[in-house]
Structure 1
Amino acid sequence: MPLDVPGATHLHSGKVRDLYSLETGHLLMVASDRISAYDFGLSPGIPDKGEILTRMSLWWFEQLQDVVPNHVVSTDVPERVRDRAVVVERLDMFPVECVVRGYLTGSGLTDYHAAGEVCGVPLPDGLVDGSRLPTPIFTPATKAQMGDHDENISFEQMVEAVGAPVAERLRDLTLQVYSRAERIARSKGIILADTKLEFGARADGTIVLGDEVLTPDSSRFWPADEWQPGRAQSSYDKQFLRDWLTSPDSGWDRHGQDPPPSLPAEVVQRTRERYVQAYEQLTGESF
């Protein structure tokens, strides 16, 4: 259940974030400690996750402010959601996930094995799990509600959804954001394998970066000194949790009808440790 926040009216709850309207006309976006994987909400949540995601997004927005405008208006929020919420602009959000991949893994690897391409982008032969791609590729996806599945789509399908001029601009901005962020992360000893961005438009048509940005929820972060193509990579994100869910230890059939099991305390603790480590290593700040 979303929190009751004084002075704010609840509008919507997503997989992780709760959105409220404010009397100023702006929105209050609150990051919860909820966590999802494979489009399922999991329990219990990860302690402090909402605060880590909020802090990390704010740090990245600052690094990217000369690349693309962002939706943050203020960090002056009600006490009940202090440190895990931001006041943001109202935007007309585009109905696509803007995904960029610099390395091959996850659903991209599955698509590559099936067809030698990802979202209609042909790739060279001989790539393996964790391979660095010759150049980063833009691989959009549909947005999914809780319980539904994001689906990779081709650029042509994206054009049908938002029109060619907007699709081309979103592709270009996504690749620019990744280029900047990948260099920054690499300088901190982290490989940014891929990330998912969301954009919206102001009333005057200006495209703005919204939602979260470059967090362990929306990105794959790998330790650069442990990168070794041909195997699953060590990670600073929730891949550890995903791996447990699909292991025999969880007893869960990802393709069955039953919901995922509750997360053991050790999985919760180790996932939290990875989120904290990603934040501290990237920003140089203590959590």
Structure 2
Amino acid sequence: MKEQADNLEAKMHARADRWRSQAYPFGSEMPWDSTGQEEVYAWTKYFGYNDKAGVTLNAILGYDPTVPHWGYNGSARRYWDFIFAAKDRRLERQLHHYGSGLNAVPLLAEYREHPDDFYLLRVGYGGTMGALTDIDQEGFASAAFHSFPDMLKPDPLSGDYGPNFFGHAWNTATYLVHHPQLGWLAFGGNVEEHGGTIKVTPLDSARTRVYIAPFGLWLTLDAGGFQSVELNPGTGTVRLMLAAATQFTAEARLHIDELTQVKNRGNYHPVKTYKLDREAYVVPLTEAATQVELTKTQ
């Protein structure tokens, strides 16, 4: 397995080296392309080519807007795929083509490293949620939404929707943010404040990932689900309520990652001792919700 992984890494390193040598290492037969950036960003970051990752991120921000409208917020600017992968073929601004879900991947990854950049979260989360707007009440997924006023409806073919849903599945999470003007906000959940304690209830489509921006804390579950997350901003204590066990999930597997140097960073770990397996804390679940308290060491 290691030999296969090393072989893959070597091949991707060669690709990343080529990307680094190009001014804009993403494109296609289109006048410009809003797909492919996510892999260029991911691999150039992985190999430490942060300059090229920055170029890629800025390219995304050049065509991916934040607009107070469900169809345009986080919707990567795209016009031509209706010609190739739609029933109604025409040049038209596509709303939430698969560029939305895919471009949200680097935007939110960058946000988790720079939680003071609220703009990245707004655009990235818009793209992540925009991918779901292509799915109708019966579960059909459209290639994109026709934005011209004579139509204003989803295209009746799925086209290349698959990568859009991948972007959503990869990214879906709840983000807890303290905004300097707006106070406590939750993207993908509901937030409450009681006596100095902040509680967020995840309502995103997976409920297995929570990012606590003031602490730079990225909590993810390989198994199990978050019922709620509470934090005390004064003490830095974090309390997790994990969903009850099911016939398929007898234990939760919790990863705790701190992705950036923030003021409140503090090497978080569970107060109680749990077995570690593949870098995850293995938490036995019961018929009721299970509480896991996290504390930090300086």
TM range (shorter): under 0.3
Name which structure has the greater RCO, CA cutoff 8 Å, separation 6+.
Answer: 1
TM-score (normalizing by structure 2): 0.27
**Which protein has the larger Cα radius of gyration, Structure 1 or Structure 2?**
2
